[in-house]
Amino acid sequence: MDKVPVQIDGHTLTLSNLTKVLYPADGFTKAEVLDYYQRISAVLLPHIAGRPMTLKRYPEGVDAESFFAKHAPAHRPDWIRTEDVESRSSRSREPGATVSYLVIDDLAALIWAANLAGLELHVPMWRFPGREPDLLVFDLDPGLPATVVDCCRVAEELRPLLEDEGLRPLPKTSGGKGLQLYAAISGLTAEQASARAKALAERMEEEHPGRVVSRMTRSLREGKVLIDWSQNNGSKTTIAPYSLRARTRPTVSTPVTWDEVAACQKTDDLFFTAPDVLARVDAHGDLFAPLLPLLAPEALPSCRGEHHHVRHHLQQPVSGRRAGVRGICRRRPREPAELRLHRQHVPQSGASEYRALLRQ
């Protein structure tokens, strides 16, 4: 299969290399990556809308070379939103230079990015038009032999400190080995948010010196949990909620409950792949939704409610059995069942056969 044209919300996209395996150990194909992103889009898009996007691209799969893509590619369609941002990073090769970022506000843009093998979606804690953060993040990163279990214990200690500050932290996995806490904020600059996060991380290190470190120095991190407060810097990004990760298997940065954090006793307890996350959202909705109410309605993508976009283009009817999780924003699946882009259903004989699966 080479190239397949589809229509999404009035935009024409050409999907390519759908049978390419991007996760070799799991056999997870590019078609399944696209399928995951279209099915999770209703809960993913509100969290990334209006934010400058950095893609981490894996054109030949997770075992091959990858690169971060900050600059919007020149070959993008003219309907893809971009915003210019002056670089303030101390690590920038050209401090003060302007970077033209992608802004992924809708399903068509999301599928276009995924079609570039942009597996990982990284965004800052702020949205356009300004650079005032709407989120505070604490990235809990375990230094071996510590694991996500240790991150959970540290998160439980950090939670009451944040609540005493008037914050309501919510946890999510990093999709790798760690855990992250997010809280909605307003009225702070990125510098003030970073200072607030740093003070809390340092307090945790002071109160739990054998378990917690707030400094990046690698020699200090063995067997401890780093509370990385620096992700609140306005020039830094963090993996977005519901983004895939480029690990051996297609893991996802997954919102979890505090009950799940408390119950975590082994690393597998908070290990979630794309199919797991689709099932979780189908059953429980968006656990990160409480982070969204501070947003103005116009800042949210149109699919905030019913999931109604690309499913019309990447499906075919199924009879006799359920094919995956359906209805991302619905508690109960609708009938008839819909067949998504699963590997066993991707035809191998060419684009013409695959086009038969698409509904205009």
List, for residues 43-87, the tens digit of each pLDDT value. 999 999 999 999 999 999 999 999 999 999 999 999 999 999 988
pTM of the model: 0.83
How is 215-273 classified by DSSP, letter by letter?
S--GGG-TTSEEEE-GGGSTT--EEPTT-B--SSS-BB--B--HHHHHH--SGGGG--B
For range 83-110, the mean pLDDT = 85
Is residue 312 scored above 70 in pLDDT?
no
90/313 Cα distance (integer angstroms): 44
* 10 and 73 housed in the same domain: yes
**Whole-number pLDDT of residue 86:** 87
**Whole-number pLDDT of residue 103:** 97
Per-residue CA distances from 5 to 28, 118, 199, 343 (Å) = 22, 19, 52, 19
**Whole-number pLDDT of residue 218:** 87
Residue 313 in any domain: the answer is: no
Q: Is 359 exposed, middle or buried (0-12, 13-18, 19+ CB in 10 A)?
A: middle
Domain that holds residue 161: 135-232
Per-residue CA distances from 57 to 44, 47, 65 (Å) = 18, 20, 9
Structural domain tally of the chain?
2
Residue 118 in any domain: the answer is: yes
Q: Which is higher by pLDDT, 19 or 319?
A: 19
- Confidence class for position 344, pLDDT limits 50, 70, 90: very low
* 162 and 115 housed in the same domain: no
**Are 274 and 156 a contacting pair, CB within 8 Å?**
no
- CATH, residue 227: 3.30.70.3300
Residue 345 in any domain: the answer is: no
